[in-house]
């Protein structure tokens, strides 16, 4: 019989990591590698920040999009993370966009990873879904057709994400356009499926002056990258403690089944600075841990971050 041996080795973190955590990290790395291969801007920015920060940065969160219908919603992606120790936290609602989202915190007993990015502390997970029932009947019909055509694909959302595959067949261009005319989120999800939508660099955990998100934003823009300007580049929560910004998504060429090949929005990279909560404001900087800082997400910020894949923002690129 195989026994689960508790971690006893202290100076060799990787060897003492629970098998399940090593697997979780392996899956996240595969998701990231699909993301880096498809999104040259995200890749270049990560390399740039890595080079300035001496190969040490942390991810604040990773994000995914889903279709909230027939078992293809938040749960299809969340079940993997919950099986690997993640805890559901708050729900966020976006009535105008017909979206809802849920975020998950990493297992409390996870290792700090001892490395950078996915090899660092495990990130939060942000998963959203389109409220398909609230779409027009034409749009609903298309989404229901593709999710139904994928068989039991909803059970394999995490697998599909880590392999860079759709669990449904490629749509036609006219179907993509029908969705895009009603919800850019819906059109994005039809062609990107469960692919990682973005990774978010934790600004406050950087070591150089880039830990101030305003400096980070300036550095990114001066390096020639364009930031999502929706509602202003810097998104600030009403309590002033959660500051976020993001790039405009990259595009990839997509082959539609009716012979059309066109470029479609892909993924982007985000930056988040979480300030110390008022009750801990007198802690010396060296003693401040992640749990002393503003946690969670903010509807007002997120609403504008969603626009990082919008036509409006993409068409600004280079202009
Ligand atoms: C998610 C947008 C929201 C955040 O951190 O608030 C978000 C998306 O574009 O799917 O990432
Ligand atoms: Ni985000």
Q: Is the pLDDT of residue 5 over 60?
A: no
Q: Is the pLDDT of residue 193 over 90?
A: yes
Confidence tier at 16 by pLDDT (50, 70, 90): low
Report the residue among 67, 302, 308 best suited for mutation to probe ligand 1: largest number of ligand atoms under 8 A from its CB. Answer: 302
* Predicted structure pTM score: 0.95
What is the pLDDT of the chain when averaged over all its residues?
94
Q: Is the pLDDT of residue 15 over 80?
A: no
Atom of ligand 1 nearest to the CA of 92: 6
Domain-wise residue ranges, the chain? 17-107+115-316
Q: Is 197 in the pocket of ligand 1 (CB under 6 A)?
A: yes
pLDDT tens string 47-89: 999 999 999 999 999 999 999 999 999 999 999 999 999 999 9
Q: Is the pLDDT of residue 7 over 80?
A: no
Written as one string, the DSSP assignment of 125-178 is EEEEEEEGGGS-HHHHHHHHHHHHHTTTGGGGHHHHHHHT--SSPPPPHHHHHH
Handedness of CA 186, 66, 254, 301 (dihedral sign): positive
CATH of the structural domain 17-107+115-316, one choice from 3.40.1130.10, 3.10.180.50, 3.60.15.10, 3.40.50.1110: 3.10.180.50
| Selection from 162, 173, 99, 105 nearest residue 133 by Cα | 99
Q: Is 202 in the pocket of ligand 1 (CB under 6 A)?
A: no
Atom of ligand 1 nearest to the CA of 246: 11
Confidence tier at 211 by pLDDT (50, 70, 90): very high
Confidence tier at 191 by pLDDT (50, 70, 90): very high
Average pLDDT of the segment spanning 213-219: 98
Report the residue among 35, 60, 63, 185 best suited for mutation to probe ligand 1: largest number of ligand atoms under 8 A from its CB. Answer: 63
Protein residues near ligand 2, an ion, with CB under 5 A: 63, 200, 270
Q: Are 38 and 267 in contact (CB under 8 A)?
A: yes
Q: Is the pLDDT of residue 9 over 50?
A: no
Q: Is 190 in the pocket of ligand 1 (CB under 6 A)?
A: no
Ligand 1: residue whose CA is nearest its atom 5: 302
Average pLDDT of the segment spanning 183-193: 98
Confidence tier at 315 by pLDDT (50, 70, 90): very high
- Range with the poorest average pLDDT among 195-199, 224-228, 286-290, 314-318: 314-318
Ligand 1: residue whose CA is nearest its atom 1: 306
Ligand with an atom nearest the CA of residue 201 = 2
Q: What's residue 12's pLDDT?
A: 46
Task: Give 246 Cα–ligand 2 centroid separation in angstroms.
Answer: 8
Q: Is 302 in the pocket of ligand 1 (CB under 6 A)?
A: yes
Q: Is 297 in the pocket of ligand 1 (CB under 6 A)?
A: yes
* Cα radius of gyration rounded to whole Å, the chain: 20
Q: Is the pLDDT of residue 4 over 60?
A: no
């Amino acid at each position: 019989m195989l026994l689960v041996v508790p971690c006893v080795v202290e100076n060799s973190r990787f060897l003492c990591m629970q098998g399940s955590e090593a697997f979780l990290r392996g899956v996240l790395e595969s998701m990231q590698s699909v993301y880096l291969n498809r999104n040259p801007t995200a890749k270049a920015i990560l390399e740039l920040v890595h080079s300035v920060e001496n190969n040490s940065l942390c991810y604040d969160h990773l994000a995914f999009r889903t279709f909230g219908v027939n078992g293809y919603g938040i749960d299809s992606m969340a079940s993997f993370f919950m099986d690997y120790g993640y805890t559901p936290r708050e729900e966020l609602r976006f009535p105008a966009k017909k979206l809802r989202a849920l975020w998950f915190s990493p297992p409390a007993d996870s290792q700090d990873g001892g490395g950078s990015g996915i090899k660092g502390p495990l990130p939060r997970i942000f998963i959203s879904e389109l409220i398909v029932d609230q779409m027009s009947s034409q749009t609903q019909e298309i989404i229901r057709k593709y999710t139904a055509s994928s068989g039991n694909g909803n059970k394999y959302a995490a697998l599909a994400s880590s392999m860079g595959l759709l669990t449904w067949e490629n749509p036609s261009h006219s179907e993509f356009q029908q969705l895009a005319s009603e919800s850019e989120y819906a059109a994005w999800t039809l062609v990107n499926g469960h692919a990682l939508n973005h990774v978010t660099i934790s600004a406050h955990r950087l070591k150089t002056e880039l830990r101030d998100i305003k400096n980070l934003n300036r550095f990114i823009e001066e390096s020639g990258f364009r930031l999502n300007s929706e509602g202003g580049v810097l998104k600030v929560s009403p309590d002033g403690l959660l500051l976020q910004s993001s790039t405009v998504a990259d595009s990839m060429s997509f082959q539609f089944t009716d012979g059309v090949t066109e470029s479609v929005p892909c993924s982007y990279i985000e930056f988040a600075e979480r300030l110390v909560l008022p009750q801990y404001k007198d802690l010396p900087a060296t003693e401040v841990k992640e749990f002393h800082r503003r946690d969670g997400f903010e509807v007002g910020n997120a609403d504008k971050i969603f626009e990082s894949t919008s036509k409006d923002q993409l068409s600004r690129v280079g202009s």
